[in-house]
Amino acid sequence: MNLLVVGASGFLGAEVCRQAVAAGHRVVGTYHSAAVAVPGVAPCRLDVTDRVAVRALLTEVRPDAVVATPYRYDDWAVTADGAAHIASAAAEVGARLVHLSSDALHAGRPTPYLDDDVPTPLHPYGAAKAAAETAVRAVDPGAVLVRTSLIVGEGSKQIQLCRDALAGRAVLFTDEARCPVHVTDLAAAVLELVPTDLAGPLNVAGPDAVSRAELGLLVARHDGLDPAGLKTATIAEAGVHRPAEVRLDSSRAAGLLRARLRGVTEVLA
């Protein structure tokens, strides 16, 4: 299979590339400001905010499938418009699209979110991810939208945040619950979705819901660090506006896919 991974220089994109190359696929991987560090991947610079460039690349590569991971937390043009550009170009060349979405499009509530719960974004990043989904679904109704949560594993910025909080350089919220997933499990799930015709939103996250502060304690235990230094607060104490409890119910994905989505307590045991 000819696979195009958009965002191959990113954390998840690189792991998708590694597993795809290992499985014998021909992989073209894009980068924007960093480099593609995965052997066997044909690297290609792409700015997804440039609609013409996205279309030109897909027309040239003619992939069978596209895995779309790019985002910038505070950049609507990358996160929302970029996703729309990729979807439109993928539809034009008839490529299967796996689009990476996020639990950040939910406002937070005590009960878990199901696959097809509609977005209720609280902040601009969540709104951009919601807009990306709407654009992708409109342009390419056959695309699958992988809604995931904190991506952990070596090199994860979520794990780095925990280490920073353990060193007193950052704060972890005690009331911000998420369902972390390991990058290798998520990448395997993403690749497994490529040859299917599954369409629309699908939650793909780990089964364990933990608060950011609990994740920090798991990292402390895993790394052999003193948990006493962990800096924590509640969302209200920090005076920020962000979703508190966002638990993704990934039971449908867990039942459909061979890839095992391990809980974070197992991952960081």
Pairing of the two strands 177-178 and 96-102: unpaired
State the nearest-atom distance from the C-beta of 152 to ligand NAP, in Å. Answer: 8
7 scored as a contact of ligand NAP (CB under 6 A)? yes
Answer whether 116's CB lies under 8 Å from 201's CB.
Answer: yes
202 scored as a contact of ligand NAP (CB under 6 A)? no
Tell me the per-residue interface mask from 88 to 107 with ligand NAP, x by CB under 6 A, - otherwise.
------------x-xx----
189 scored as a contact of ligand NAP (CB under 6 A)? no
Closer by beta carbon to ligand NAP, 35 or else 237 = 35
57 scored as a contact of ligand NAP (CB under 6 A)? no
Residue nearest to ligand NAP (CB): 10
User: Could you write out the DSSP letters of every residue in 141-200?
Assistant: TT-EEEEE--EESTT-HHHHHHHHHHTTSS-EETT-EE--EEHHHHHHHHHHHTTS---E
173 scored as a contact of ligand NAP (CB under 6 A)? no
Spatial CA neighbour of 9 closest among 39, 48, 47, 38: 38
Distances (CA, A) of 38 to 15, 42, 152: 8, 9, 19
- Phi, psi for residue 254 in degrees, rounded to 5: -60, -35
11 scored as a contact of ligand NAP (CB under 6 A)? yes
136 scored as a contact of ligand NAP (CB under 6 A)? no
Cα–Cα dist 103/203, whole Å? 8
Calculate the CA 28 to chain-centre distance.
19
SS3 assignment, position 33: coil
State the nearest-atom distance from the C-beta of 228 to ligand NAP, in Å. Answer: 26
Tell me the per-residue interface mask from 26 to 55 with ligand NAP, x by CB under 6 A, - otherwise.
-----xxxx-----------xxxx------
State the nearest-atom distance from the C-beta of 126 to ligand NAP, in Å. Answer: 10
56 scored as a contact of ligand NAP (CB under 6 A)? no
Size of the site for ligand NAP (CB under 6 A): 29
Binding site for ligand NAP (CB under 6 A): 7, 9-13, 31-34, 46-49, 69-72, 78, 82, 100, 102-103, 129, 148-151, 158
